[in-house]
Amino acid sequence: MLAKSRVEPMEPGERTTPEEGADAPHWLVDAMLGRLARYLRFLGHDTEYARGLEDDEIGLRALREGRALLTRDRELATRTPGAFLLRTVRISEQLAEVRRAFPGFSYQVAFDRCPECNASLVRWGGTPEQGEALGIPPRTLADGRPIFECRACSRRFWDGSHTERIRALVADSLGGATP
Ligand SMILES: [Zn+2]
């Protein structure tokens, strides 16, 4: 049973009252917002993705795990304490919206959390031969660039053209959020 239901439906850009103030970002991102979930993980934010859950399960999970729900579903947001109702569709605008609503968190690209599964990343310590066998580009290995590995799903990540695009998008969207 979800407590603290509001009488009036909320408007986009509004937050429901959280149970208590959070000092670190813990999100539950609604289905259909998978790209936002990945970007929040790039920022190092603890972000679970609610794919495949019914609305009641989503609300309960947010409460049970102390997560702020990010959603575009007005009805779900209205009856979930601590939810934020997103107004926009584009990822850069959604990041800006989240930062405006939750200004106390870091919005710098961190690469300490797996964008695919949310587990923490550790420095990969294999040899160049092992790296090549795993499909890591020889140039990346030769550069001595740090390579990170997910503790849970074993995917590997390193800075390259893909991450440059991510950094640029984050910088662009958050630059645009400054009043
Ligand atoms: Zn992973």
Of 53, 80, 111, the domain-final residue: 111
Give the whole-number percent of the chain exceeding pLDDT 70.
Answer: 89
Of 61, 76, 111, the domain-final residue: 111
What is the average pLDDT value for the chain, to the nearest integer?
87
Ligand 1 centroid vs 108 CA: distance in angstroms?
A: 20
Residues 92, 160 within the same domain = no
Residue 58's domain spans which residues? 1-111
116 part of a folded domain: no
d(CA 41, CA 49): 11
Residues 11, 95 within the same domain = yes
What's the whole-number mean pLDDT along residues 19-37?
A: 83
Residues 126, 101 within the same domain = no
Residues 103, 133 within the same domain = no
Residues 8, 72 within the same domain = yes
d(CA 4, CA 18): 10
Residues 14, 64 within the same domain = yes
d(CA 78, CA 171): 31
Token readout for 85 is 């109702």
Residues 89, 5 within the same domain = yes
What's the whole-number mean pLDDT along residues 20-32?
A: 81
Ligand 1 centroid vs 150 CA: distance in angstroms?
A: 5
What's the whole-number mean pLDDT along residues 62-82?
A: 94
Residues 132, 49 within the same domain = no
CA–CA distance from 146 to each of 71, 114, 128, 167 (Å)? 34, 15, 12, 17
Ligand 1 centroid vs 89 CA: distance in angstroms?
A: 26
Residues 82, 127 within the same domain = no
pLDDT tens, residue by residue, 116-127: 999 999 999 999
Residues 59, 146 within the same domain = no
Query: How many separate domains does the chain show?
Result: 2
DSSP string, 102-146: STTS--S----B-TTT-PBEEE----HHHHHHTT--HHHHHHT--
Residues 71, 98 within the same domain = yes
Residue 146, pLDDT above cutoff 70: yes
Ligand 1 centroid vs 4 CA: distance in angstroms?
A: 35
Q: What is the pTM of this model?
A: 0.84
Ligand 1 centroid vs 118 CA: distance in angstroms?
A: 6
Question: If pLDDT is split at 50, 70 and 90, which confidence band does 159 have?
Answer: confident
* CATH at 73: 3.40.50
Residues 69, 147 within the same domain = no
pLDDT of amino acid 151 = 92
Ligand 1 centroid vs 157 CA: distance in angstroms?
A: 10
Ligand 1 centroid vs 121 CA: distance in angstroms?
A: 8
Ligand 1 centroid vs 156 CA: distance in angstroms?
A: 8
